[in-house]
């Protein structure tokens, strides 16, 4: 085990215990250790480095495209290769760089900002990283097998259907699915960590703005990425399974893809933009030594997160939708500018009258404000329907979204890197290189993208590999190409700066910028546990002021906070632990066990890759191998070792802190994780039900000609059996709470039997109905919506069997781990029953 660097905090814990504490938190050594790492800091760095590698590749693809477009009728790239390059460039920047980089930054810095020792589910962090890495590799393997995706980063159907696109689109869909899984698990991680693992005293009113923005982005990711996952599943089923969701010849609907895709795609822009604004607020606050409008900024962040889900149709103005719906989506698109404006004005007001030092982080902030305001203004322009009709699919749109995404994400990322890299590496970056990087990036960016507004007005179409000399756009394009290389030089300088700082950078103090937040109280770089003694927060700016005087904590809260943090001073020593606090008031609630190094996340990701590659290669039996690997790894992951539960029960930490270690309900991190997971399932169901009704709306006959109605009696009986299992499980829970051993076993057996009866009758009913998934969109929808509850029930039954087996020996554990397992399993099962009822209503009862 490698020794983590020591923290700077004074500790009253004896040296021998501190050594044991350090050993418990040390990263495992060697390559096998590298594979089993679960700590947020090394994994956060890996996320960021991998994302930077993809950023470089995506940037090279962009430069190749700019060379092609430098002069009219150029033959540097052919049309096919150009299509492949713009598809890979867009997909790389949107899926493999922007979101994963910000996730990596969040995973690294979040526990430090909120005073926690790690994130809530460390193994989930590792799973997120492996799925992201494997997804990205799968994406790029397409280059080596000569089957590169070429239908754009949005993969509109029917262009992306198997009729018009080759194997490359399968690489796109399957690689992307893995990256989406990564995005979803990172979102679960971030949301639960922020809500449950904040330092005592860090109430909602004292959370750093960056934490607010990643909370908003995490919540958005849960819904947005789930929708995309459903959409790519439907696309891949169409491509390889012969379903007809998007095949208009068989009752499918191509616009359904656009609806689902943009329901993800528009919030995606804000999932990237909001954390970037969080970085801006942190840098502005530190450099101006204040941040005006904290409440306004947080409200603007939350309003933006909400409203961004109501804008998806503004990408579809030209698809022939009813004008009325275009009207109110245009209104929403205009209104979101107000929320962004609030933030911009707050930053300007904060900087007004101050004389902050123009260091690289602040320079990139100022560059961001200039570029993003321009991008925002063109965003307001394209929100107006008639204007959008004129410039849609021209270079004006290319200019607009690069101003928003590079101004709104890349410049803040640069600002954040210059700001936090001293904390990550312990070395200051070289200021002269930072200044030069800023000017090259700022000038190069504007040279590249500003002329594109004009090119768009002159009618230069996007996504086309060349243009005619008669358009007289050669000069603009050559200028843009030169600008792209200037911008690229700036980026290379940034990477060079990071490398050189290891040799020539001055050692970084703990707080090189005089920042106000908790990460600056740790050493640079911080130890793997972040805080030896969990901090108590008494103000919004814990480094600047001891406490906020208008609302000091009461004596009893203060005493509870002190007792909890003192108990965790250099402890627990035998296992990794951190404090759980109340989601709103941040009062101590429990001590959370954090698992150490594990190979299970890697094996789950490998199982997933094996299953998806089998789909790609059409060796369907191997899918079962992948599923088996996943199932075994997940089984080991979810089953706690008996000696661990015993050790936690016997630990003296509970007595020291006066807090439970194994707990239930909203105090339990596992419970919060399950609620978050269920919201993902709910969103996937909403997307599928929406798909059903949307396709049905545009179908002249439902079910289509030649297909009979499903048997109401048979399906009612089948779904009824599952519904009855819910009260049976309630009975089991009541028996468990009262410690009635035999009743627990009997009632849980009843639940399992009812589940088995549901599966048997439902499978029979679907087979008996005889509708084919390959003959109509109706059949495809009926089949998929029928299989959905089967999968939920199978997983739920495994969870129930696990709980029932443990209940044999642990039925008296009504407050500890067994109780938590019963509660979480029950939550899942009730959600499964609710989902089945919705599906029954959709397939069988809807008129």
Partner 1 sequence: MEGTNEYQAPLPRRSVPTDGRLWFGVLGGAIAWLLHLVLSYLIAEFGCVSGWGEHHWMGLSLVAWLGLAVSVSMVASAVVANGIATRNQKGFSKDVDSETSSDGERFMARSGVLANRFFIVIIIVQSIPFVFYLQGC
Contacting residue, 295, 353, 357, 708, with partner 1 by CB under 8 A: 295
Closer residue to partner 1 in complex, CB, 409/654: 654
Residues 417-436 that bind partner 1 (CB under 8 A): none
Q: How does DSSP assign 102-120, residue by residue?
A: HHHHHHHHHHHHHT-SS-S
| Count of residues interacting with partner 1 (CB under 8 A) | 58
Task: Tell me which of 30, 320, 322, 386 binds partner 1, using CB under 8 A.
Answer: 322
Q: Measure CA of the first residue to CA of the last residue in the chain; give whole Å.
A: 64
Which window, 4-12, 333-341, 761-769, 792-800, contacts partner 1 (CB under 8 A)? 333-341
Report the C-alpha gap between 238 and 669 in whole angstroms.
38
Distance in angstroms (rounded) separating the CA atoms of residues 681 and 303: 24
Kindly give the residue spans of alpha helices, DSSP state H, lying in 426-473.
431-457
DSSP 8-state class, residue 742: H
- Whichever of 284 and 339 has its CB closer to partner 1, that residue is 339
Does the footprint of partner 1 cover residue 384 (CB under 8 A)? no
Tell me if 107 sits within 8 A of 129, measured CB to CB: no
Instruction: In angstroms, give the least distance from the CB of 269 to partner 1.
Output: 18
**Does 337 engage in binding with partner 1 (CB under 8 A)?**
no
Site string for partner 1, 174-203 (x = CB under 8 A): -----------------------------x
CA dist 776 and 704 (Å) reads 8
Min CB(223)–partner 1 separation in Å: 11
Task: Give the C-alpha separation, 408 to 276, whole Å.
Answer: 7
- Taking the complex as a whole, the smallest distance from the CB of residue 201 to partner 1 amounts, in Å, to 9
DSSP-based three-state secondary structure for 205: helix
CA dihedral 128, 133, 135, 138 (to 10 degrees): -160
Output 404 or 560, the one with its CB closest to partner 1: 560
Structure tokens given for 502: 């290891």
Binding of partner 1 by 325 (CB under 8 A): yes
Out of 335, 349, 471, 675, the residue judged to bind partner 1 by CB under 8 A: 335
The token duo for 495 is 């990477």
Q: CA 220 to CA 804: how far, in whole Å?
A: 35
SS3 for 744-804, per residue? Answer: HHHHHHHHHHHHHHHHHHHHHHHHHHCCCCCCCHHHHHHHHHHHHHHHHHHHHHHHHHHHH
- Could you say which of 66, 117, 206, 359 contacts partner 1 (CB under 8 A)? 206
Phi, psi of 539 (to 5 degrees): -155, 165
Stretch near partner 1 under the rule CB under 8 A, chosen from 49-57, 83-91, 244-252, 318-326 = 318-326
x/- letters, 584..613, toward partner 1 (CB under 8 A): xxxxxxx-----------------------
Provide the residue count of the chain.
847
- Binding flags for partner 1, 362-381, as an x/- string (CB under 8 A): --------------------
- Cα Dmax for the chain: 86
CB of 485 to partner 1, least distance (A): 43
Q: Are the CB atoms for 149 and 169 separated by under 8 Å?
A: yes
Which of 32, 469, 514, 658 is in the footprint of partner 1 by CB under 8 A? 658
How far apart CA 499 and CA 434 sit, in angstroms, is 13
Segment interacting with partner 1 (CB under 8 A) among 164-172, 306-314, 769-777, 787-795: 306-314
**Residue bearing tokens 């971030």:** 190
770 in the Ramachandran plot: left (φ > 0), alpha (ψ -120 to 50) or beta?
left
* Residue of 149, 252, 310, 816 that binds partner 1 (CB under 8 A): 310
Q: Can you tell me which of 35, 56, 67, 303 binds partner 1, judged by CB under 8 A?
A: 303
**Of 110, 604, 659, 672, the one binding partner 1 by CB under 8 A:** 659
Binding positions for partner 1, 544-563, rule CB under 8 A = 548, 550-554, 556-557, 560, 563
Binding flag, residue 841, partner 1 (CB under 8 A): no
Q: How far is 649 from 807, CA to CA, in rounded Å?
A: 17
Query: What is the binding site for partner 1 (CB under 8 A)?
Result: 203-206, 295-296, 298-299, 302-303, 306-307, 309-310, 313, 321-325, 327-328, 330-332, 334-335, 338-339, 548, 550-554, 556-557, 560, 563-564, 582, 584-590, 654-655, 657-660, 667, 693, 697-698
């Amino acid at each position: 085990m490698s020794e983590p660097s020591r923290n700077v905090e004074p500790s009253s814990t004896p040296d021998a215990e501190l050594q044991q504490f350090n050993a418990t938190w040390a990263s495992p050594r060697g390559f096998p250790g590298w594979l089993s790492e679960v700590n947020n800091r090394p994994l956060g760095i890996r996320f960021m480095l991998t994302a930077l590698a993809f950023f470089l590749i995506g940037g090279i693809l962009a430069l190749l495209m700019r060379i092609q477009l430098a002069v009219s009728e150029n033959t540097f790239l052919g049309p096919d290769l150009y299509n492949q390059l713009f598809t890979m460039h867009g997909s790389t920047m949107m899926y493999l760089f922007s979101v994963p980089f910000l996730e990596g930054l969040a995973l690294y810095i979040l526990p430090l900002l909120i005073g926690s020792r790690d994130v809530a589910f460390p193994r989930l962090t590792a799973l997120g990283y492996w799925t992201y890495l494997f997804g990205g590799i799968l994406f790029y393997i397409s280059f080596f097998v000569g089957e590169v995706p070429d239908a754009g980063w949005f993969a509109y159907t029917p262009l992306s259907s198997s009729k018009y696109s080759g194997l490359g689109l399968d690489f796109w869909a399957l690689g992307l699915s893995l990256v989406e899984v990564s995005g979803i698990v990172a979102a679960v991680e971030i949301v639960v960590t922020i809500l449950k693992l904040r330092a005592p005293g860090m109430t909602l009113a004292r959370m750093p703005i960056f934490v607010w923005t990643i909370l908003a982005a995490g919540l958005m990711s849960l819904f947005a990425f789930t929708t995309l996952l459903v959409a790519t599943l439907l696309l891949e089923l169409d491509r390889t399974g012969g379903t007809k969701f998007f095949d208009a010849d068989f009752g499918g609907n191509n616009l359904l893809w656009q609806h689902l895709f943009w329901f993800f795609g528009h919030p995606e822009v804000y999932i990237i933009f909001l954390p970037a604004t969080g970085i801006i607020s942190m840098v502005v606050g530190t450099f101006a030594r204040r941040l005006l409008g904290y409440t306004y900024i947080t409200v603007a962040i939350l309003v933006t997160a909400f409203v961004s889900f109501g804008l998806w149709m503004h990408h579809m103005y030209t698809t022939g939708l009813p004008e009325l719906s275009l009207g109110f989506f245009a209104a929403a698109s205009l209104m979101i500018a107000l929320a962004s404006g609030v933030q911009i004005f707050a930053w300007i007001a904060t900087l007004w009258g101050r004389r902050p030092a123009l260091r690289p982080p602040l320079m990139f902030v100022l560059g961001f404000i200039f570029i993003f305001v321009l991008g925002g203004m063109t965003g307001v322009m394209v929100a107006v329907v008639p204007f959008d009709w004129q410039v849609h699919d021209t270079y004006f749109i290319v200019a607009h979204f690069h101003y928003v995404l590079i101004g709104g994400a890349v410049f803040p990322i640069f600002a954040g890197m210059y700001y936090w890299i001293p904390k990550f590496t312990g070395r200051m970056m070289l200021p002269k290189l930072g200044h030069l990087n800023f000017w090259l990036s700022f000038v190069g960016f504007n040279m590249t993208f500003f002329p594109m507004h004009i090119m768009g007005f002159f009618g230069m179409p996007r996504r086309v590999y060349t243009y005619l000399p008669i358009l007289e756009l050669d000069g603009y394009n050559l200028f843009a190409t030169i600008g792209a290389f200037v911008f690229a030089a700036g980026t290379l300088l940034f990477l060079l700066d990071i490398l050189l700082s290891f040799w020539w950078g001055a050692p970084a103090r703990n707080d090189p910028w005089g920042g106000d937040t908790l990460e600056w109280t740790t050493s640079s770089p911080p130890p793997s546990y972040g805080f030896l003694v969990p901090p108590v927060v008494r103000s919004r700016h814990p480094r600047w002021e001891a406490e906020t005087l208008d609302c000091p904590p009461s004596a009893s809260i203060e005493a509870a906070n002190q007792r909890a943090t003192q108990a965790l001073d250099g402890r627990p020593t035998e296992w990794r632990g951190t404090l759980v606090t109340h989601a709103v008031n941040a009062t101590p609630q429990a001590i959370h066990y954090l698992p150490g190094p594990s190979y299970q996340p890697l094996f789950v990701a490998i199982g997933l890759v094996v299953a998806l590659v089998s789909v790609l290669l059409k060796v369907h039996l191997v899918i079962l191998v992948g599923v088996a690997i996943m199932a075994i790894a997940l089984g080991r992951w979810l089953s706690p070792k008996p000696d661990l539960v015993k050790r936690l029960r016997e630990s003296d930490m509970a007595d020291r802190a006066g807090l439970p270690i194994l707990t239930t309900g909203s105090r339990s991190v596992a419970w919060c994780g399950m609620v978050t997971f269920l919201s993902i399932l709910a969103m996937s169901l909403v997307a599928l039900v929406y798909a059903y009704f949307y396709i049905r709306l545009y179908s002249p006959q439902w079910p289509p000609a030649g297909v009979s109605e499903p048997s109401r009696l048979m399906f009612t009986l089948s779904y009824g059996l599952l519904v009855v299992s819910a009260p049976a499980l309630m009975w089991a829970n009541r028996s468990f709470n009262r410690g009635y051993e035999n009743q627990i076993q009997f009632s849980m057996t009843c639940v399992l039997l009812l589940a088995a009866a549901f599966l048997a009758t439902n499978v029979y009913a679907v087979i008996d109905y005889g509708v084919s998934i390959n003959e109509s969109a109706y059949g495809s929808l009926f089949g998929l919506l029928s299989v959905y509850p089967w999968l939920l029930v199978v997983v739920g039954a495994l969870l129930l069997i696990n709980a029932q087996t443990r209940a044999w020996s642990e039925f008296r554990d009504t407050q500890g781990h067994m109780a938590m397992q019963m509660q979480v399993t029950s939550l899942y099962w009730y959600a499964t029953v609710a989902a089945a009822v919705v599906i029954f209503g959709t397939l069988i009862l809807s008129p």
